[in-house]
């Protein structure tokens, strides 16, 4: 039976394969014009169908055979005493939500076929959607934090690329960067959580965390709080909870179906899902739950107030969404995890429907938009604050971006004026290719301090080389040898005269005799 | 088997010499065929060679002079076989590189093949007297090749040839003395390397040191090690392109190969002189690198960089441990391939542009994209970028050296840094910049030229990406040798 459940590892792979297939199709050069669109769409939808059917099969299996819980398949990699397994968790929550994700993915893909018809980035869009689907399925199904994180990053990067879908518009790319960087803060938290769990608890499995929380004696509240802090930071940011709500309103630049699936319906719930996974640990740390409840309540309040004054469809929807997700966090914080889970599932379905419908609202709704309620309109300061989204945007700019920029500028000045001279980097304007006005005669030259030292040493060595090593003709040794050779020539000349050899012979004879 | 390998190039030389026609194209083709046959035969030796065995294999012996105890004995092991393969691989490239030899082609190509015989003899000889004979035999063809067929300036090339021969002869005198002393003190009445080695390992260290120093001077001239390198820049610059390839590709390795044999024979002395060896290695590395950086002449630059790279070989040998010896052997092969490719390419460039001054070139990547590709590949391999053979070699030498001297290895990094400096500067000068008038109509590599340089590049990348077979080939011999030093 477990062998059948092990097939779950194929499910996130299917959309990835589709993405690879579409890439190959583009590279083959045949993805051109109207006729090029259906194969791409069919490939993506086919993968989504297969995923959905596979999940439904697993659901049926689980209905009859019971949920297997934790399914370990193998080892991804091991280093030292630390292993990262390939494992999945199949329980009611993950199977149910994964099925929902696959269904919504399929619906959005089908919707996109007409919505994006003749858009320049049609194929690119489908690739990204497939990558996102794979990432989301990994988040929901994986049995350990590392695999979840892989999915988390898949979702993050595809969301970044889809927000910047119209990459020729500066606003879109700027917003994409904003969203991505905010999410990176969450990623840092996730990595912190993973490493603390691996370091202190020796496990990255969700079940391992649950067992540790239930073990009683080994459980330690401070450790738990730190580990939870990392994971929950990631969850709070991914779900755009207060005070990180801003990025989600900037994330609506992407094509509508992608907004629907990412921010309206699926990805925004990834944080809630992570909180639900951490339920066993949370139950032992009431303080953290309280913080979660406060964050959720604040978000709900914030989303409600700001949502009241929005004037366009997508923005009002997104603030309504954050309100609801804030309520889910509140529910989790109060310990009503079951409620939060159901709320999440229902909200997913409803929001997906609403977002996909968003482009048609103007036609569907005939009445005038609802006015701002009187009590809000009367309170000028509150109204302004809501309209300005409580200046969270500006706050982030002045408290984070500006100081960072200032530090970066100082660093660059230091680099340019001090380090570059020390290390000997060529000046900034000359980096890379050699400029046209380069003087031919100075091929060999060093830049900065290191370069000067090198030039100095090279000159000394060159002089040494040419004086002592290369010039044999006039070296002292050669001169001495030449002089010796002259003496020998004289000796030779003497010996050539007959009287000296005869004298020698006579002398020899005398000695012998 | 090995004597056949030795005779094949000799046969080729005879054939070239006795060929009835005078057409240089045909003479070159015959020579090329001969070198390719030798190469195929040498590579087929791999089938008979068992890399697991550390001892000498394919051994054959004929008595030569019974009273003296010299014999004509040949054999290969994990140190010599890679160098034999390298030599036979570089020979066809050298012949292809001689495409512009028009005058005295017969003379030239027979000398080239004779040189191959002598080189292979050095690597295969298992008898010190035979080794010496082959060692000296390489001088004869090289002298004529440089003196008669070298660069444009007659006086310079004659000076270069004379310088080269005098230097090597001077070194050989010390080597001969050392060999005779070795023969005398080992008192085995045999010149056989194995017999002498067994006897000499028990000699008192002082005797060993004297003999080792003599050998070190002889081999150090060839390698070359720092104060004995005076012949090299001149000879490389003046020699014809093909001879430069062989000089740096194979002949330098004769020196380091001999040094490995000397370490094998006199381990006590090697251990005692370890500090001297490593100091010389560091000086050679930095000295050669700085002078390479200093020179504007492309050939001179590569010549000096050879000194720097052979310093890495010496460092590996001086480490006297497994990684060090493996690194030294790999560096010999890597440098053979890289320097061969570089000299070949620079020779081709010189034929086309008649200048070797780096400052004269500009934006060649537009006119010669294929040339640019191979040149950049060769330079990156020279710097030792991962993925190339140079990386594997330098990494092993580094590991080996680190085990012995730790932080001193920063000098190796320094020399690598300097080599990166001149390699990148040269690449930048040659290939980037504004399109110049003089460099506008330089023809790119032809198909034959590309085939020759692609062979070498393939070797560089193959060893760099999948070094296991090459390391396996030398492994057993390296283990045996490092066993004498307990590492």
Q: Compute how many other C-beta atoms are within 10 angstroms of the C-beta atom of residue B388.
A: 26
User: Is there a contact between B384 and B393 (Cβ–Cβ < 8 Å)?
Assistant: yes
* Residue that terminates a domain, selected from A362, A392, A419: A362
Q: Which residue has the tokens 């951490």?
A: A278
A3 near B CB under 8 A = no
Three-class DSSP category at A370? coil
Residues A352 and A491 in one domain: no
Residues A355 and A501 in one domain: no
Smallest Cα distance from B432 to chain A, Å = 6
User: Is there a contact between A102 and A51 (Cβ–Cβ < 8 Å)?
Assistant: yes
User: Is there a contact between B128 and B195 (Cβ–Cβ < 8 Å)?
Assistant: no
Smallest Cα distance from A464 to chain B, Å = 11
Residues ≥6 apart with Cβ < 8 Å to B453: B93, B341, B344, B345, B374, B445
Q: A-chain residues within 8 Å CB-CB of B425?
A: 443
What phi and psi, each to the nearest 5 degrees, are found at residue A422?
Answer: -70, -50
Q: Compute how many other C-beta atoms are within 10 angstroms of the C-beta atom of residue A125.
A: 25
pLDDT for the residue numbered A440: 45
pLDDT for the residue numbered A477: 63
d(CA A85, CA A88): 9
Confidence check: pLDDT of B100 > 60: yes
Q: Answer whether residue A416 is part of any domain.
A: no
Residues ≥6 apart with Cβ < 8 Å to A122: A37, A40, A116
- The β-bridge partners of A79 are A82
Three-class DSSP category at B3? helix
Buried b (16+ CB within 10 A) or exposed e, B176-206: bbbbbebbebbebebbbbbbbbebbeebeee
Q: Answer whether residue A53 is part of any domain.
A: yes
Q: β-strand A69-79 against B57-65: which pairing, if any?
A: unpaired
A457 near B CB under 8 A = yes
Determine the residue among A425, A426, A443, A459 to mutate to test chain B binding: the one whose Cβ has the most chain B Cβ atoms within 10 Å.
A443
A460 near B CB under 8 A = no
User: Is there a contact between B178 and B215 (Cβ–Cβ < 8 Å)?
Assistant: yes
d(CA B236, CA B213): 26
Three-class DSSP category at B61? strand
- Give B18-61 pLDDT, tens digit per residue: 888 778 888 889 999 999 999 999 999 988 888 888 888 888 88
Q: Answer whether residue A460 is part of any domain.
A: no
Task: Provide the percentage of residues in chain A whose pLDDT is more than 70.
Answer: 93
- The verdict on a CB contact (< 8 Å) between A454 and B227 is no
- Give B325-341 pLDDT, tens digit per residue: 999 999 999 999 999 99
How many residues belong to chain A? 513
Residues ≥6 apart with Cβ < 8 Å to B75: B2, B56, B57, B58, B59, B60, B124, B126
- Give A239-252 pLDDT, tens digit per residue: 988 888 888 888 88
Count how many pairs of residues, chain A against chain B, have C-beta atoms within 8 Å.
51
ipTM reported for the complex surpasses 0.85:
no
d(CA B380, CA B342): 11
End-to-end CA distance of chain B: 34
Mean per-residue pLDDT over chain B, rounded: 89
- The verdict on a CB contact (< 8 Å) between A458 and B234 is no
Nearest to B359 among A440, A461, A462 (CB): A440
* Residue that terminates a domain, selected from A314, A345, A362: A362
Q: B-chain residues within 8 Å CB-CB of A441?
A: 359
A437 near B CB under 8 A = no
Q: Answer whether residue A436 is part of any domain.
A: no
pLDDT for the residue numbered A371: 78
d(CA B470, CA B246): 21
* Residue that terminates a domain, selected from A362, A391, A417: A362
Confidence check: pLDDT of A502 > 90: no
Select from A290, A338, A343 the least CA-distant residue to A321: A343
- Nearest residue on chain B to A442, alpha-carbon basis: B359
Select from A292, A301, A286 the least CA-distant residue to A271: A292
CA B26 to chain centre: 29
DSSP state of A144: B
d(CA A240, CA A264): 11
C-alpha dihedral sign at A139, A140, A142, A146: positive
Three-class DSSP category at A228? helix
pLDDT for the residue numbered A479: 72
- Which helix (H) or strand (E) segment holds residue A471: the answer is none
Its domain, for residue A506, covers 472-512
Task: Provide the percentage of residues in chain A whose pLDDT is more than 90.
Answer: 26
Nearest to B433 among A434, A454, A457 (CB): A434
Residues A349 and A478 in one domain: no
Residues 3-62 of B with CB under 8 A from A: none
Give the pLDDT mean for B1-8.
Answer: 89
Confidence check: pLDDT of A436 > 50: no
Confidence check: pLDDT of A430 > 70: no
CA A175 to chain centre: 16
Residues A358 and A492 in one domain: no
pLDDT for the residue numbered A434: 47
Q: Answer whether residue A388 is part of any domain.
A: no
pLDDT for the residue numbered A437: 45
- Nearest residue on chain A to B424, alpha-carbon basis: A432
- Cα torsion A150, A156, A161, A162 to 10°: value is 120
d(CA A161, CA A131): 11
pLDDT category at B178 given cuts 50, 70, 90 is very high
Nearest to B287 among A435, A459, A461 (CB): A461
Residues ≥6 apart with Cβ < 8 Å to B438: B353, B360
User: Is there a contact between B337 and B347 (Cβ–Cβ < 8 Å)?
Assistant: no
Give the pLDDT mean for A360-370.
Answer: 77
B229 near A CB under 8 A = yes
d(CA B460, CA B390): 8
d(CA A462, CA A479): 23
- The verdict on a CB contact (< 8 Å) between B290 and A469 is no
- The verdict on a CB contact (< 8 Å) between B294 and A441 is no
User: Is there a contact between A97 and A342 (Cβ–Cβ < 8 Å)?
Assistant: no
Q: Answer whether residue A50 is part of any domain.
A: yes
Q: pTM of the prediction?
A: 0.66
- Give B297-334 pLDDT, tens digit per residue: 899 899 999 999 999 999 999 999 899 999 999 999 99
Angle at A415 between CA A409 and CA A417, to 5 degrees: 100
- Which helix (H) or strand (E) segment holds residue A220: the answer is none
Q: Answer whether residue A467 is part of any domain.
A: no
Q: Is the peptide bond before B224 cis (omega within 30 degrees of 0)?
A: yes
Q: Answer whether residue A139 is part of any domain.
A: yes
Residues ≥6 apart with Cβ < 8 Å to B150: B157, B160, B161, B238, B239, B240, B243
User: Is there a contact between B161 and B98 (Cβ–Cβ < 8 Å)?
Assistant: no
The least confident of A151-160, A268-277, A478-487, B37-46 is: A478-487
- Nearest residue on chain B to A447, alpha-carbon basis: B421
DSSP state of A80: T
Rg value, chain B, Cα: 21
Q: A-chain residues within 8 Å CB-CB of B359?
A: 440-441, 443
Give the pLDDT mean for A74-91.
Answer: 82
- Cα torsion B147, B150, B153, B155 to 10°: value is -10
What phi and psi, each to the nearest 5 degrees, are found at residue A334?
Answer: -85, -5
B189 near A CB under 8 A = no
- Nearest residue on chain A to B233, alpha-carbon basis: A470
Residue ranges of alpha helices (H) inside A334-417 are: 337-357, 361-364, 374-378, 380-387, 392-396, 402-414
DSSP string, A85-130: EEEEEESHHHHHHHHHHHHHHHHHHHHHHHHTTT-TTHHHHHHHHH
A4 near B CB under 8 A = no
- Nearest residue on chain B to A467, alpha-carbon basis: B230
Rg value, chain A, Cα: 37
Q: Which residue has the tokens 């300097």?
A: B418
- Give A129-141 pLDDT, tens digit per residue: 999 999 999 999 9
Smallest Cα distance from B293 to chain A, Å = 8
- Give A7-45 pLDDT, tens digit per residue: 888 888 999 999 999 988 888 878 788 888 888 999 999
Indicate the number of domains in chain A. Answer: 2
- Give A330-350 pLDDT, tens digit per residue: 999 998 999 999 999 999 998
Select from B226, B236, B191 the least CA-distant residue to B344: B236
């Amino acid at each position: 039976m477990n062998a059948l459940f092990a097939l779950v590892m194929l499910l996130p792979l299917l959309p990835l394969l589709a993405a690879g297939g579409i890439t190959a199709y583009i590279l083959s050069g045949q993805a051109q014009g109207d006729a090029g669109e259906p194969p791409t769409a069919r490939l993506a939808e086919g993968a989504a169908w297969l995923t959905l059917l596979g999940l439904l099969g697993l659901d049926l299996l689980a209905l009859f055979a019971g949920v297997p819980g934790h399914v370990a398949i193998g080892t991804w990699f091991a280093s030292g005493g630390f292993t990262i397994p390939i494992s999945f968790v199949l329980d009611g929550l993950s199977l149910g939500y994964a099925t929902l994700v696959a269904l919504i993915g399929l619906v959005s893909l089908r919707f996109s076929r007409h919505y994006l018809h003749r858009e320049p980035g049609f194929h690119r869009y489908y690739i990204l959607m497939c990558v996102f689907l794979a990432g989301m399925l990994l988040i929901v199904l994986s049995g350990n934090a590392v695999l979840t994180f892989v999915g988390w990053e898949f979702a993050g990067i595809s969301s970044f690329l889809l927000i910047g879908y119209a990459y020729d518009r500066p606003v879109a790319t700027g917003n994409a960067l904003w969203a991505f960087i905010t999410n990176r803060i969450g990623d840092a938290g996730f990595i912190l959580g993973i490493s603390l769990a691996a370091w202190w608890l020796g496990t990255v499995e969700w079940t391992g965390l649950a067992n540790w929380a239930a073990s009683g004696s080994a459980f330690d509240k401070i450790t738990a709080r730190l580990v939870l802090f990392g994971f929950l930071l990631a969850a709070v940011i991914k779900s755009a909870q207060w005070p990180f709500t801003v990025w989600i309103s900037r994330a609506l630049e992407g094509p509508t179906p992608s907004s629907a699936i990412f921010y309206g319906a699926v990805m925004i719930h990834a944080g809630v899902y992570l909180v639900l996974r951490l339920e066993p640990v949370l139950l032992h740390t009431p303080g953290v739950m309280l913080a979660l409840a406060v964050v959720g309540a604040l978000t709900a309040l914030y989303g409600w107030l700001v949502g009241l004054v929005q004037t366009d469809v997508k923005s009002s929807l997104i603030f309504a969404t954050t309100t609801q997700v804030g309520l889910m966090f509140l529910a989790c914080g109060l310990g009503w995890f079951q409620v939060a889970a159901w709320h999440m599932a229902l909200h997913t379905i409803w929001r997906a429907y609403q977002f996909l419908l968003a482009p048609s609202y103007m036609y569907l709704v005939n009445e005038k938009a609802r006015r701002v309620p009187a009590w809000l309109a009367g309170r000028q300061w509150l109204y302004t604050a809501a309209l300005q989204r409580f200046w969270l945007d500006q706050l982030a700019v002045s408290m984070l971006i500006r100081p960072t920029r200032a530090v970066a500028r100082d660093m660059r000045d230091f680099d340019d004026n001090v380090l570059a001279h020390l290390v000997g980097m060529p000046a900034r304007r000359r980096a890379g290719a050699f400029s046209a006005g380069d003087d031919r005669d100075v091929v060999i030259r060093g830049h900065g301090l290191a370069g000067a030292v090198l030039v100095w040493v090279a000159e000394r060595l060159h002089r040494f080389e040419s004086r002592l090593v290369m010039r044999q003709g006039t070296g002292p040794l050669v001169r001495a040898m030449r002089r010796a050779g002259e003496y020998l020539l004289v000796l030779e000349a003497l010996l050539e005269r007959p009287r000296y050899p005869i004298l020698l012979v006579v002398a020899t004879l005398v000695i012998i005799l | 088997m090995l004597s056949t390998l030795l005779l094949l190039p000799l046969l080729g030389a005879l054939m070239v010499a006795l060929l009835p026609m005078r057409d240089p194209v045909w003479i070159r083709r015959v020579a090329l065929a001969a070198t390719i046959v030798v190469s195929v035969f040498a590579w087929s030796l791999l089938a008979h060679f068992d890399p697991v065995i550390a001892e000498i294999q394919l051994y054959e012996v004929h008595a030569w002079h019974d009273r003296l105890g010299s014999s004509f004995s040949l054999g290969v092991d994990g140190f010599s076989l890679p160098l034999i393969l390298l030599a036979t691989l570089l020979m066809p490239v050298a012949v292809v590189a001689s495409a512009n030899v028009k005058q005295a082609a017969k003379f030239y190509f027979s000398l080239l093949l004779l040189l191959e015989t002598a080189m292979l003899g050095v690597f295969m000889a298992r008898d010190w007297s035979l080794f010496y004979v082959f060692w000296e035999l390489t001088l004869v063809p090289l002298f004529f090749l440089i003196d008669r067929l070298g660069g444009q300036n007659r006086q310079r090339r004659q000076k270069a040839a004379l310088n080269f021969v005098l230097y090597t002869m001077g070194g050989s005198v010390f080597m001969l003395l050392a060999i005779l002393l070795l023969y005398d003190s080992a008192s085995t009445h045999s010149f056989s390397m194995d017999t002498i080695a067994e006897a000499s390992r028990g000699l008192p260290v002082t005797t060993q040191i004297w003999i080792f120093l003599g050998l070190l001077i002889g081999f150090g001239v060839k390698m070359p090690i720092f104060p004995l390198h005076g012949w090299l820049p001149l000879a490389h610059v003046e020699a014809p392109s093909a001879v430069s390839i062989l000089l740096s590709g194979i002949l330098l390795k004769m020196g380091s190969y001999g040094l490995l044999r000397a370490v094998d024979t006199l381990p006590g002395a090697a251990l005692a002189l370890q500090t001297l060896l490593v100091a010389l290695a560091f000086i050679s590395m930095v000295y050669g690198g700085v002078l390479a950086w200093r020179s504007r002449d492309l050939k001179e630059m590569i010549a000096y960089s050879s000194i720097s790279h052979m310093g890495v070989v010496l460092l590996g040998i001086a480490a006297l441990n497994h990684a060090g010896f493996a690194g030294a052997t790999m560096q010999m092969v890597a440098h053979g391939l890289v320097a061969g490719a570089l000299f070949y390419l620079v020779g081709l460039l010189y034929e086309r542009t008649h200048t070797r001054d780096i400052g004269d070139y500009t934006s060649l990547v537009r006119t010669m994209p294929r040339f640019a590709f191979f040149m950049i590949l060769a330079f990156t391999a020279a710097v030792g970028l991962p993925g190339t053979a140079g990386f594997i070699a330098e990494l092993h030498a580094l590991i080996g050296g680190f085990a012995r001297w730790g932080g001193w290895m920063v000098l190796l990094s320094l020399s690598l840094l300097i080599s990166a400096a001149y390699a990148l500067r040269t690449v930048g000068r040659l290939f980037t910049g504004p399109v110049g008038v003089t460099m506008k109509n330089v023809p790119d590599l032809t198909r034959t030229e590309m085939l020759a340089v692609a062979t070498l590049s393939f070797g560089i990348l193959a060893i760099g990406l999948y070094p296991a077979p090459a390391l396996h080939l030398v492994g057993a011999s390296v283990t045996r040798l490092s066993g004498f030093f307990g590492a």
